Amino acid sequence: MNLLLGANTVAAVAGIGFALVGGVRPAALSESGTPTAGERFYGWMYATRGVPLGVAALVAPLAWPGPAGSLILSAAAAAQVGDAAIGVATRKWTMIAGASLLTAIHVATAAATA
Q: How confident is the model at residue 1 (pLDDT cuts 50, 70, 90)?
A: confident
Q: How confident is the model at residue 27 (pLDDT cuts 50, 70, 90)?
A: confident
In the chain, % of residues over pLDDT 90: 77
**pLDDT score of 4 more than 80:** yes
> What is the per-residue pLDDT for 89?
96
Distance CA 80, CA 106 (A): 9
In the chain, % of residues over pLDDT 70: 100
> What is the per-residue pLDDT for 34?
86
**pLDDT score of 70 more than 80:** yes
Tell me the average pLDDT of the chain: 93
- Rounded to an integer, the average pLDDT of 72-101 is 95
**pLDDT score of 30 more than 80:** no
Distance CA 95, CA 82 (A): 11
